[in-house]
């Protein structure tokens, strides 16, 4: 018997007079996507064939006229259930399978809900959290589903979770700039989290895209960092390199602007911890990897880099503001004495000389503080100085949390 070509097999699969048995055999033996889609769309396909086809081509199955007939006359539980979910997606949320981990068995039901014209934002969030990205990618290739899903996300972004938004992005529903718009409408500093696998996959994808289009992707990375809980940032902070520092800097500066606009309301603990861990990305790249000799040589370089990033006023020496704080030992301060007054002022004002130290004329730290204080006075008068006087046997406060003592 001559072998049937794919073209001929496709014609048979599309023919509505082909028997259910023939269609089942074609489905099992053929590997062609076009042929299998034709089988899934054929009104003569039986329940078992449609059930198998639904794992890959659910759109074709649900639009197959035979599917409604099967629901009326076939007692197959799977057919009945998937049809009910397609008509009423809220059934998925109310107990069909959202809380189950049997993803492979229940995936068709979730996809049926996603394809439904009756889909609401709450049901869509739970479906996107449940389905693997590979399944979402398939679903979003279907024009009707893609159009409906995009409209749902953009109209109700505030109802979505980070998990759902990230998985939709990874599934190809929208680009980096559109993800930025979604996050901007619903995020607070340090407020969002999701599964580790989803978060790391998304951030690594964004960092890779940043290499080719930094202006478009940079704001998205920044707002993700700004919105993420510290534990999430910890998962990816070692994925950053020095080329990403402008994005990290913009995150810190954006947070400071938000704090200034809070009208005296102190930032939440999650907000403060978020900035601490974001700041640690900077010190983790520019300070912590350096040994003692490299730090001595790089005192001026670190200052210049902070000026380039606009972070010269961040308190790098305050462990409450920066994890991996930049603290100068006495030996490093001896080297700092050879730097310009601007460099000295940077380290003093940003609390890098430590929280407190003994005042001694021979101390390099004391000499630097004295010099910086005098320089500030000459530039801005008494209101610009670190401290106004030092009396013996007294504690002198530079700020509420930094003291010089005898």
Least confident of 25-39, 87-101, 245-259, 299-313: 87-101
The answer to the question of residue 356 being in a domain is yes
Range among 125-129, 163-167, 320-324 rated most confident: 163-167
Read off the pLDDT band of 139 (50, 70, 90): confident
Per-residue burial over 301-323, b if 16 or more Cβ lie within 10 Å, else e, is ebbebbeebebbebbbbbeebbb
Whether the CB-CB separation of 272 and 255 falls below 8 Å is answered with no
Q: What is the pLDDT of residue 164?
A: 94
With a cut of 70, say whether residue 225 has pLDDT above it. Answer: yes
Q: Say what the pLDDT of residue 196 is.
A: 95
DSSP H or E stretch at residue 398: strand 396-399
**Same domain, residue pair 256 and 333:** no
The answer to whether residue 272 is domain-embedded is yes
CA distance 315 to 325: 9
The answer to whether 75 and 92 are in contact (CB under 8 A) is: no
Residue 291, domain member (yes or no): no
Q: Residue 258: inside a domain, yes or no?
A: yes
Tell me, yes or no, if the pTM score tops 0.75: yes
Burial of 387 (0-12, 13-18, 19+ CB in 10 A): middle
Burial class (CB in 10 A: 0-12, 13-18, 19+), 378: exposed
d(CA 287, CA 289): 6
On whether the CB atoms of residues 334 and 364 are closer than 8 A, the answer is yes
- Asked whether residue 279 falls in the same domain as residue 353, the answer is no
Q: Over 90: is that where the pLDDT of 326 sits?
A: yes
Query: Does residue 320 sit in the same domain as residue 382?
Result: yes
pLDDT for residue 354 is more than 90: no
pLDDT digits (tens, 9 = 90+) for 165-199: 999 999 999 999 999 999 988 778 888 999 999 99
Please check the confidence at residue 275 and state whether its pLDDT lies above 70: yes
Q: Is the pLDDT of residue 392 over 50?
A: no
Q: Are residues 188 and 235 in the same domain?
A: yes
Contact in structure between 253 and 217 (CB atoms under 8 Å): no
Residue 101 included in any domain: no
Share above pLDDT 90 across residues of the chain, in percent, rounded to a whole number: 47
Confidence of residue 99 (pLDDT cuts 50, 70, 90): very low
Whether residues 249 and 185 fall in one domain: yes
In 3D space, the residue among 355, 364, 344 whose CA is nearest the CA of residue 395 turns out to be: 355
Q: Do residues 137 and 171 make contact, with C-beta atoms less than 8 angstroms apart?
A: yes
Please check whether residues 182 and 278 belong to one and the same domain: yes
pLDDT of residue 169: 96
Question: What is the number of structural domains in the chain?
Answer: 2
Mean pLDDT across the chain: 85
Residue 77 counted as domain residue: no
Lowest pLDDT segment from 61-65, 78-82, 165-169, 332-336? 78-82
| Residue 293 belongs to a domain | no
Q: Are residues 193 and 273 in the same domain?
A: yes
Mean pLDDT over 47-72 rounds to 79
DSSP of 315-366: -TT-TTT-TT-----HHHHHHHTTS-HHHHHHHHHTTTT-SEEE--TT-HHH
The band of 265, judged by pLDDT with boundaries at 50, 70 and 90, is confident
Residue 229 belongs to domain spanning: 175-286
Residues 269 and 333 in one domain: no
The answer to whether 339 and 300 are in contact (CB under 8 A) is yes
Query: Are both 226 and 184 inside the same structural domain?
Result: yes
Residues 220 and 271 in one domain: yes
Region 330-357 average pLDDT: 89
Please give the span between the terminal C-alpha atoms of the chain, in angstroms, as a whole number: 103
- At residue 393 the predicted structure's pLDDT band, cuts being 50, 70 and 90, is very low
Round to whole Å and give the CA distance between 406 and 393.
6
| Residue 230 located in a structural domain | yes
Q: Which residue has the higher pLDDT, 402 or 212?
A: 212
What 8-state DSSP symbol labels residue 92?
I
Higher pLDDT: 22 or 79? It is 22
**Given this model, what pLDDT does residue 86 score?**
86
Tell me which of 6-15, 73-82, 208-217 is least confident.
Answer: 73-82
Claim to verify: residue 235 and residue 279 sit in the same structural domain: yes
Taken as a whole, the chain contains a residue count of 406
State the average pLDDT over residues 347-353: 91
CA dihedral 337, 340, 343, 349 (to 10 degrees): 70
């Amino acid at each position: 018997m001559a072998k049937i070509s794919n073209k001929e097999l496709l014609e048979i699969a599309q023919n509505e007079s082909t028997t259910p048995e023939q269609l089942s055999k074609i489905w099992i033996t053929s590997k062609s996507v076009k042929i299998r889609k034709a089988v899934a769309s054929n009104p003569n396909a039986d329940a078992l064939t449609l059930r198998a086809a639904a794992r890959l081509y659910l759109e074709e199955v649900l639009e197959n006229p035979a599917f409604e007939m099967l629901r009326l006359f076939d007692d197959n539980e799977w057919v009945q259930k998937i049809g009910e979910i397609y008509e009423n997606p809220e059934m998925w949320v109310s107990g069909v399978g959202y809380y189950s981990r049997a993803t492979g068995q229940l995936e068709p039901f979730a996809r049926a809900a996603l394809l439904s014209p009756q889909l609401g934002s709450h049901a869509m969030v739970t479906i996107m959290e449940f389905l693997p990205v590979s399944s979402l990618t398939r679903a979003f290739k279907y024009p009707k589903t893609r159009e409906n899903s995009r409209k749902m996300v953009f109209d109700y972004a505030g109802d979505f979770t980070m998990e759902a938004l990230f998985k939709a992005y990874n599934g190809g529903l929208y680009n980096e700039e559109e993800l930025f718009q979604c996050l901007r409408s619903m995020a607070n500093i340090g407020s969002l989290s999701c599964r580790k696998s989803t978060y790391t996959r998304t951030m690594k994808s964004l960092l890779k895209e940043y290499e080719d289009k930094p202006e478009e992707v940079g704001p998205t990375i920044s707002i993700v960092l700004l919105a993420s809980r510290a534990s999430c940032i910890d998962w990816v902070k070692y994925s950053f390199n020095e080329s990403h520092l402008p994005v990290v800097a913009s995150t810190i500066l954006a947070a400071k602007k938000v704090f200034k606009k809070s009208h005296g309301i102190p930032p939440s603990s999650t907000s403060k911890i978020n900035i601490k861990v974001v700041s640690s990305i900077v010190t983790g790249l520019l300070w912590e990897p350096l040994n003692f000799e490299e730090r001595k040589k790089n005192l001026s370089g670190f200052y210049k880099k902070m000026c380039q990033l606009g972070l010269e006023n961040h308190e790098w020496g305050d462990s409450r503001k920066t994890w991996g704080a930049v603290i100068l030992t006495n030996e490093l301060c001896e080297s700092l004495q050879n730097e310009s007054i601007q460099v000295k002022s940077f380290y003093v004002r940003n609390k890098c000389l430590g929280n407190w130290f003994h005042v001694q004329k021979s101390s390099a730290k004391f000499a630097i503080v004295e010099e910086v204080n005098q320089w500030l006075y000459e530039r801005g008068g008494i209101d610009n100085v670190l401290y106004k006087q030092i009396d013996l046997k007294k504690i002198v406060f530079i700020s509420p949390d930094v003291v010089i003592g005898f």
